[in-house]
Structure 1
Amino acid sequence: MIMRKSAALWLLALPLAFSQPIQVQAQAPVQYKLAFPNAVHHEARIIATFQELPAGPLQVRMARSSPGRYALHEFAKNVYDVQATDSKGNTLTVSRPDPYGWTVAGHDGTVIFTYTLFGDRTDGTYAGIDARHAHLNIPATLAYAQGLEQRPAQVTFALPQGWTVASQLRPNAANEVWMAPNLQYLMDSPTSLGAQQVRSWQEQGKTIEMQVLHEGTPAELDAYVAQTKKVVKEAAAIFGGLPEYDFGRYTFVANYLPQTSSDGMEHRNSTSLTSNRPLRGPGALDNLGTVSHEFFHSWNVERLRPQDLEPFDFQRANMSSNLWFAEGFTQYYGELLLRRAGVYTDEQYCQEALSGIVDAMLTMPGPKRYSPVQMSQQAPFVDAAAAIDPSNRSNTYLSYYYIGAGNALALDLELRQRFKTDLDTYMRTLWQQHGAQQNYAPAKPYTLRDLQRVLGEVTKDTTFAGQFFRQHITGHALPNYDALLAPAGLLVRRAHAGQASFEARLQFNPDSSATLGTTLLGSPCYLAGLDREDVVVKLDGQKPTNAKTVQTFLSTHKPGDVIQAEVRARDGVRTLPITLQENSDLEVVPFEQAGRPLSKAQKKFRAAWLASKAK
């Protein structure tokens, strides 16, 4: 991080007489105290104490970005009532040099910096505070001082009655003070406060715990944890064991209350899980998918980490060319782990995972024109980034989650068919070379060249590795999923064969018209010259009142039919022809479901790929 470098240069520039005291003083911990006297109105009162400071103004900042998120979020916007005093209680001068922080002048070596934080979004990025709980993403919560990034931090909480703490921070013996070795670790440590329900177990000598806020029954939580245990075992089997968690413990920090927003955010020794879905019915499966994805991140991206994200810079957007691997391969494995754990059947795995990946890769415009590397570089603009102007991303972008998962699927199948190896071996080899060695941070983060090199080692074919990366990672050639999936007895087919379609999103209006969303390249509406916000008034003289009306209309037509649409566009009302196309949605189904015979070889191949690997 740039701030570390500038701080080091500043110390070197000091007179020799000051150097030894400042080196000793640099270990004085930063202390935080959090209280919630007005939690019902989503406020926390926070005191940050910075001691044994060198002379001169202190620069206090709020983060602008957050680990695991790649856009700017400007957390200072929710900070107010700022005050600062010295060690004797004297009021200090606080000025605002920019929107992101404060300059505190005139201190006596100590600054006690006090502020109010507002937070009412419970997810992995922001802070959510109310009378029932506080779910705190630390960059959105705690101010920090420039130049003190390497100091340890100590955090104490004034907890309302019945609340406990869930965090990867290290507690003291009395569970009263929660500690981090440096700023990077502190910022990477989401913390949940509330009436936690705790389930803890031992796995390969490590403590795995799930600390949960939810409204369900203990039995529902027990069943959910039982499924989580299976996922943990399957993930560990891929890498040959669990990571060496820094304090011997991994924590699922889970908030499943109605006021939460759906999110999952990976961290070094924990994950933040938020959802308003309960731990029963379909919601439980959706939540478990996030658990699986985020737990895989404790290897991939947290320890097996791209060099262009290390160290994380809290004052700018962090761009990586490798999110197709860090997030996309994790997306692939998150779903695969559910199949191997027995949560999905083969049919469910095809429906819930493979169909979406293959459909997005083959039917969306983005993958046909931009590479996974280029999609990764878009993260600062799309990863929960806020903008009010329209974009054309429907025609230019496919999430690095999907395009990465699509290439992970293709590579796994190709390795199994051509090289008698698999993606598990590739991941394990990468882990051994670039992930296993740690000291609160990866010792050897990888580059794009490293990912290609290791693929050449695993396949013993550097020509193939180079070709795969040129065509599919830095290029945008699409995989042949028909050929790749057939040896597993899986079929790619039209999900709605023969059905006529506009291939467009419609928003239905009170006057029985329908407004178009962004029209996709090559779709009937795009080719007819229609664009977003154009309003369809009539179709062959009929009003498009609702989705059922439109579907009934389309059912009387076949692909290739030309219909007349009355449209209100920016250049006025006109009637124009639209040539209907066959619904392009694709699905992946097992041969058995499609009425095709499954050979012994296909059954064996599928089992080697999808069956449990945990012992």
Structure 2
Amino acid sequence: MMRKTAALLLLGLPLAFGRPAAAQAPIQYAVAFPNAVHHEARVTVTFTEVPTGPLQVRMARSSPGRYALHEFAKNVYDVQATDSKGKVLSVVKPDPYGWDVTGHDGTVRFTYTLFGDRTDGTYAGIDSRHAHLNMPATLAFARGLEQRPAEVKFDMPAGWTVASQLRPDAAKGTYYAPNMQYLMDSPTSLGPQKVRSWQEKGKTIELQVLHDGTDAELDAYANNTKKVVKEAAAIFGGLPDYDFGRYTFVANYLPQTSGDGMEHRNSTSLTSNRPLRGPGAIDNLGTVSHEFFHSWNVERIRPKDLEPFNFEQANMSSGLWFAEGFTQYYGELLLRRAGVYSDDEYCQEALSGLVGAMLTSPGAKRYSPVYMSQQAPFVDAAAAIDPNNRSNTYLSYYYIGGANALALDLELRQRFKTDLDTYMRTLWKQHGEPQRNYAPANPYTLADLQRVLGQVTKDTAFAGQFFRQHIFGHELPNYEALLAPAGMLVRPAKAGQASLAARLQFNPDSTATLGGTLMGSPLYAAGLDREDVVLKLDGKKPINAKELQTRLAAHKPGDVVQVEVKARDGVRTVPVTLMEDPTLEVVTYEQAGKPVSKAQKKFRAAWLSSKAK
């Protein structure tokens, strides 16, 4: 009797339970824009073959490539749910992030209004001109149905087209994702796209762009993008196998856009209000280069602690110094190899920032790249209103990782007759190229990164020492020695200039308010802190930045000046010992007026010259 009852119960369950999730009824999304001028979209999600019991519908709390919480449910309202016959269903909120729907007949049609007015890689930006949609900020999902495929239909104004890594289905007029992970990883731009498409090593690469510039500007930009793509492919010996044979730069360069770049499996979201001409074009191209390198590093060569991504919590990784930092290094290096930068420009635009940040940041002297990576949920576009001490305890994993990538590349070239390209290529073969079900088959651990370094150098002792000192530890590399074989020099950018090494906000009454003071700086040593107000320096009001700099120019490092301040404990005058301006720069020997040898030129060319054939 019990067996019979169990059998009857099994027969009563939806047929979907007998099929793999990928073969079950797809989740269907319809996205319309009846009130785009006021930044609203109307979204309908249809779930069919839903198991009995409450359907737990949720909005994501985090987003791929972002590690903090963003609470996308805050922009959702006018929620309604009906069944297959149009019957209104009960919807209750069990928490701030979602809705439980009960009383359904196996079908739930879940409808809501979405507000979005921030065009970047994290949120949704909607107006009468375009819609730039990050999917976690846009589309609700249901717990337990994450492995089902999804189909998205966009009801758009006339003249708008779709830019997305989602697979188009022309017959249905929909866009397909094999599962929720892929759907949420697929930013989509809707608007009057301008398209530039080409073939590279048997793969389609396309730029889908919204911008106010000319076709000639876009053509020039596309040509530089082609060079970057070739240089990146040369490092790895080819392009990844993009899941649907195509890689898309989803680019929005309109005035209302916030600057951002966000990597995805077969695409990247590029947003900036800078035009595709002048300095803005180079800045934008730097984001292209960085994000395209991510199609190998982080999307396919992926840290195990980010796979799979959890959309309902903050995501912490110990490997962002590699995933983002090494990508930061390569993003700029690709621009040099592509001929966008000269050697001097590469030093100024890339190396000076990496080396200067590493050697002058108090945080880099105290904490490791692993620690900096673990801080991402608190710093990566994370919002908080309380003050913090990150100026003294933190250096971005982009910079600390990029600076270590530079040091490692130079050391590999000098000591082991190999290079960082070889290291990345070896990691690709072991941890990136193997893919399964639209995801890495063999994501890496930190131990894997160290092991592969030992293989490439044929020196496991060196690999262990490098990781102990520079990755798990915080020993600073000797950049002067490392850069010398390339004929490059680390030097003070403002040698002999006296400085307070302070962030000051000048006020209408000619006083100046301090930002957070850096450890080791003159004001920190004098016991001054954030929000203290400088009333007088050398008996005179600060007035403005230019006047203060003129006054400091009359001094030399080591001079003591009297500073009158209003602090939390009252007004007082303190002696402050000026220091040399701490800003560092990297320059070529030629720029520094030093002779450069043939060996140095050869070393530099092997490092910085084009690798594309």
- Per-residue CA deviations over 1:306-360 (Å, capped at 9, x if unaligned) read 0000000000000000000000000000000000000000000000000000000
Cα offset, 1:164, TM superposition: 0.3
Q: Which moved more, 1:266-275 or 1:543-552?
A: 543-552
Report the counterpart of residue 378 of structure 1 in structure 2.
Answer: 375
Does residue 362 in structure 1 map to residue 359 in structure 2? yes
Contact residue 14 and residue 49 of structure 2 kept, 8 A: no
Cα offset, 1:227, TM superposition: 0.1
Report the counterpart of residue 121 of structure 2 in structure 1.
Answer: 124
Q: Which runs of 5+ in 1 are unaligned?
A: 1-11
Cα offset, 1:576, TM superposition: 0.8
- Please point out which of 29, 51, 59 is paired with 2:48: 51
Amino acid of the residue matched to residue 510 of structure 1?
A: P
Contact residue 14 and residue 51 of structure 2 kept, 8 A: no
Q: TM-score, normalised by structure 2?
A: 0.98
The 1:343–1:451 alpha-carbon spacing in structure 2 relative to 1, beyond 3 Å, is same
Report the counterpart of residue 16 of structure 2 in structure 1.
Answer: 22
**Superposition pairs for residues 446-595 of structure 1, below 5 Å?**
446-595=444-593
The 1:295–1:14 alpha-carbon spacing in structure 2 relative to 1, beyond 3 Å, is farther
Q: Give the distance between the partners of 1:551 and 1:344, measured in 2 at CA.
A: 32
Contact residue 193 and residue 210 of structure 2 kept, 8 A: yes
* SS at 2:592 equivalent: coil
Report the counterpart of residue 36 of structure 1 in structure 2.
Answer: 33
Report the counterpart of residue 213 of structure 2 in structure 1.
Answer: 216
Q: Give the distance between the partners of 2:191 and 2:27, measured in 1 at CA.
A: 24
Report the counterpart of residue 235 of structure 1 in structure 2.
Answer: 232
**Superposition pairs for residues 413-424 of structure 1, below 5 Å?**
413-424=410-421
Does residue 330 in structure 1 map to residue 346 in structure 2? no
Q: Give the distance between the partners of 1:293 and 1:99, measured in 2 at CA.
A: 35
Report the counterpart of residue 187 of structure 1 in structure 2.
Answer: 184
Cα offset, 1:54, TM superposition: 1.0
Q: Give the distance between the partners of 1:503 and 1:18, measured in 2 at CA.
A: 73
- Please point out which of 415, 423, 433 is paired with 1:436: 433
Cα offset, 1:21, TM superposition: 1.9
Q: Give the distance between the partners of 2:236 and 2:31, measured in 1 at CA.
A: 39
Amino acid of the residue matched to residue 442 of structure 1?
A: P
**Superposition pairs for residues 344-363 of structure 1, below 5 Å?**
344-363=341-360
- Please point out which of 271, 280, 283 is paired with 2:280: 283
The 1:144–1:492 alpha-carbon spacing in structure 2 relative to 1, beyond 3 Å, is same
Amino acid of the residue matched to residue 36 of structure 1?
A: F
Report the counterpart of residue 9 of structure 1 in structure 2.
Answer: none
Does residue 268 in structure 1 map to residue 268 in structure 2? no
* SS at 2:56 equivalent: strand
Report the counterpart of residue 135 of structure 1 in structure 2.
Answer: 132
The 1:14–1:460 alpha-carbon spacing in structure 2 relative to 1, beyond 3 Å, is farther
- Per-residue CA deviations over 1:371-421 (Å, capped at 9, x if unaligned) read 000000000000000000000000000000000000000000000000000
Q: Give the distance between the partners of 2:563 and 2:129, measured in 1 at CA.
A: 53
Q: Give the distance between the partners of 2:569 and 2:171, measured in 1 at CA.
A: 71
* SS at 2:435 equivalent: coil
Amino acid of the residue matched to residue 610 of structure 2?
A: S
The 1:460–1:15 alpha-carbon spacing in structure 2 relative to 1, beyond 3 Å, is farther
- Per-residue CA deviations over 1:195-217 (Å, capped at 9, x if unaligned) read 00000000000000000000000
Q: Which runs of 5+ in 2 are unaligned?
A: 1-5
- Per-residue CA deviations over 1:512-541 (Å, capped at 9, x if unaligned) read 000000000010000000000000011011
Amino acid of the residue matched to residue 74 of structure 2?
A: K
Cα offset, 1:23, TM superposition: 2.3
- Per-residue CA deviations over 1:38-64 (Å, capped at 9, x if unaligned) read 000000000000001111110000000
Amino acid of the residue matched to residue 607 of structure 1?
A: A
Report the counterpart of residue 4 of structure 1 in structure 2.
Answer: none
* SS at 1:568 equivalent: strand
Contact residue 78 and residue 113 of structure 2 kept, 8 A: yes
Amino acid of the residue matched to residue 150 of structure 1?
A: Q
- Please point out which of 246, 250, 265 is paired with 1:249: 246
Report the counterpart of residue 301 of structure 2 in structure 1.
Answer: 304
- Per-residue CA deviations over 1:265-323 (Å, capped at 9, x if unaligned) read 00000000000000000000000000000000000000000000000000000000000
The 1:456–1:13 alpha-carbon spacing in structure 2 relative to 1, beyond 3 Å, is farther
- Per-residue CA deviations over 1:180-237 (Å, capped at 9, x if unaligned) read 0000000000000000000000000000000000000000000000000000000000
Q: Give the distance between the partners of 2:50 and 2:576, measured in 1 at CA.
A: 71
Amino acid of the residue matched to residue 52 of structure 1?
A: E
Contact residue 368 and residue 473 of structure 2 kept, 8 A: yes
Report the counterpart of residue 145 of structure 1 in structure 2.
Answer: 142
Report the counterpart of residue 3 of structure 2 in structure 1.
Answer: none
Q: Give the distance between the partners of 2:297 and 2:446, measured in 1 at CA.
A: 14
- Per-residue CA deviations over 1:482-501 (Å, capped at 9, x if unaligned) read 00000000000000000000
Report the counterpart of residue 7 of structure 1 in structure 2.
Answer: none
Cα offset, 1:22, TM superposition: 3.1
Report the counterpart of residue 407 of structure 2 in structure 1.
Answer: 410
Q: Give the distance between the partners of 1:13 and 1:324, measured in 2 at CA.
A: 54
What is the root-mean-square deviation of aligned Cα atoms in Å? 1.2
Q: TM-score, normalised by structure 1?
A: 0.97
Q: Give the distance between the partners of 1:438 and 1:274, measured in 2 at CA.
A: 29
Cα offset, 1:20, TM superposition: 7.6
User: After TM superposition, what 4+ stretches of structure 1 lie above 6 angstroms from structure 2?
Assistant: none
- Per-residue CA deviations over 1:556-601 (Å, capped at 9, x if unaligned) read 0000100001101000111111000000110000000001001000
**Superposition pairs for residues 85-96 of structure 1, below 5 Å?**
85-96=82-93
* SS at 1:97 equivalent: coil
* SS at 1:593 equivalent: helix
Q: Give the distance between the partners of 2:65 and 2:123, measured in 1 at CA.
A: 12
Report the counterpart of residue 598 of structure 2 in structure 1.
Answer: 600
Identity %: 81
- Per-residue CA deviations over 1:222-272 (Å, capped at 9, x if unaligned) read 000000000000000000100000000000000000000000000000000
* SS at 1:36 equivalent: strand
Q: Give the distance between the partners of 2:189 and 2:11, measured in 1 at CA.
A: 45
Report the counterpart of residue 73 of structure 1 in structure 2.
Answer: 70
Report the count of equivalent residues. Answer: 604
Cα offset, 1:437, TM superposition: 1.0
* SS at 1:415 equivalent: helix
Amino acid of the residue matched to residue 233 of structure 2?
A: A
Does residue 343 in structure 1 map to residue 336 in structure 2? no
